[in-house]
Structure 1
Amino acid sequence: MTNPNLTTGSIWRLHHGDQEIARLTVTGVDMPWTHAEVEILPGYEEFRPLFSEQERASDEEDWERAGACYTQIRTALTLTFPDGGPVAEFILHIHDDHTAGWRWYDEPFDAVNP
């Protein structure tokens, strides 16, 4: 059975507080990564430099800096499934070309690795 959250065309949403700042339309899945086209909405621009910094740090294999970016992203933003339910944990990369890749988990990391 196919997971409806991973169906091509399904839309995940990125939020800052109550404001939806991006829509991620699934284009494919390469487990454990999900890939999407990103529709930028008002409020996203505040976070663009953070995602760009995360991408640079990853490209340079500066895992400490990439981890710091991840922490800032997870502190400020939430991701929701296509049905509107919150994603417990995720690692999200939004690229400058308005594509994204992310991994998601049903439980927070601290619940998985106490």
Structure 2
Amino acid sequence: MANSNMNTDVVWRLHHGDQEIARLTVTGADMPWTHADVEALPGFEAFRPIFSEQERAADEEDWERLDGCYEEIRSALTMTFPDGSPVAEFILHIHDDGTAGWRWHDEPFDELNC
């Protein structure tokens, strides 16, 4: 994707179905991770517990639980680039402090791992 996606202050969006549930305003990048401040919108609170669980699993190095959280997030949520186009694949962590970190790819990860 274009480098403009890594500019600070651009907004990526998180969706549940057709509803936008969070705006992620980029604050920086530490490739391959992008970092942002999170603006929770109506509908986000239903997903906060799974992001908290994911953070605990990562802290505890419980990789199986972390994988389960990833699957739950990816089955329920989609993400769009600042231009509104869909992100094919992403790993998203939303932290309890209102920040986020994610990595993304323009092809599904399953296709990359074959």
TM-score, normalised by the number of residues in structure 2? 0.97
**Letter of the aligned partner of 1:6 in structure 2?**
M
Shift of 1:113: 1.7
Question: Shift in Å at residue 110 of structure 1?
Answer: 1.6
Match of 2:68 in 1: 68
Equivalences for 1:29-68 in 2 at 5 Å? 29-68=29-68
- Which residue number corresponds to residue 78 of structure 1? 78
How far the C-alpha of 1:101 sits from its partner, in A, is: 0.2
TM superposition shift of 1:112? 1.1
Output the CA distance in 2 between the equivalents of 1:34 and 1:63. Answer: 21
Runs of 4+ in structure 1 displaced over 2 angstroms? none
Name the SS for the 1:14 alignment partner.
strand
RMSD of Structure 2 on Structure 1 (CA): 0.8
Q: Deviations for 1:50-104, whole angstroms, at most 9, x for unmatched residues?
A: 0000000000000000000000000000000000000000000000111000000
Identity among equivalent positions (%) equals 76
User: 1 CA distance for matches of 2:86 and 2:113?
Assistant: 20
Counterpart of 1:6 in structure 2 is: 6
Letter in 2 for 1:17: G
Count of matched residue pairs: 113
Corresponding residue number in structure 2 for 1:95: 95
Unmatched runs of 5 consecutive residues or more in structure 1: none
